[in-house]
Amino acid sequence: MADQDDQPSRPAADIDPHLLAFLRTRVNSFIKWDLVRFFHENVNTVDTAENIARYTGRDVSAIAPALQELVEANVLNKQDVSGITVYMLTSDEATRALIQRFILACEDRQFRVKAMYYMVRGMA
């Protein structure tokens, strides 16, 4: 029998509303979650979609659209460097602080379970 704590009846109810909005509108897939964590941990990374795919152990066909959506969500910046498209973490301090809070919150298992539940429900 599964642990009842793993099945929150109202997963979004006690998530910080700012983090909930971040999850719902900006990090609404597991690939984007991975990418946000990657850029948080390697904060000065500047690289192409192909190389970021290699660094995160994923296929570029999956990574490229997620990177673009994170750019549109102002989580990442995109730049053209002499014909090479590169991605980097946003320089916006407020967004960086929100990412920091999100990553810190993810260290708590209960938060992770709730966030994953919410994300799966949102993806359905």
Applying CB under 8 A, the residues found at the interface with other proteins are 41-48, 51, 55, 79, 81-84, 86, 88
CA distance 10 to 45: 37
| Mutual angle of helices 60-72 and 49-56, in 10-degree steps | 110
User: Least Å distance between CB 64 and other proteins?
Assistant: 16
What's phi and psi for 80, nearest 5 deg?
-95, 115
CB of 84 to other proteins, least distance (A): 5
> Cβ closer to other proteins: 81 or 123?
81
- 70/119 with CB nearer other proteins: 70
Rounded CA-CA distance 17/89 in Å is 23
Q: What are the CA-CA distances from residue 30 to residues 4, 14, 82, 112 (Å)?
A: 23, 21, 31, 12
Compare residues 7 and 42 and give the one whose CB is closer to other proteins.
42
Q: How far apart are CA 83 and CA 86, in angstroms?
A: 9
CB of 55 to other proteins, least distance (A): 7
Q: Which is nearer to other proteins, 16 or 34 (CB)?
A: 34
CB of 88 to other proteins, least distance (A): 7
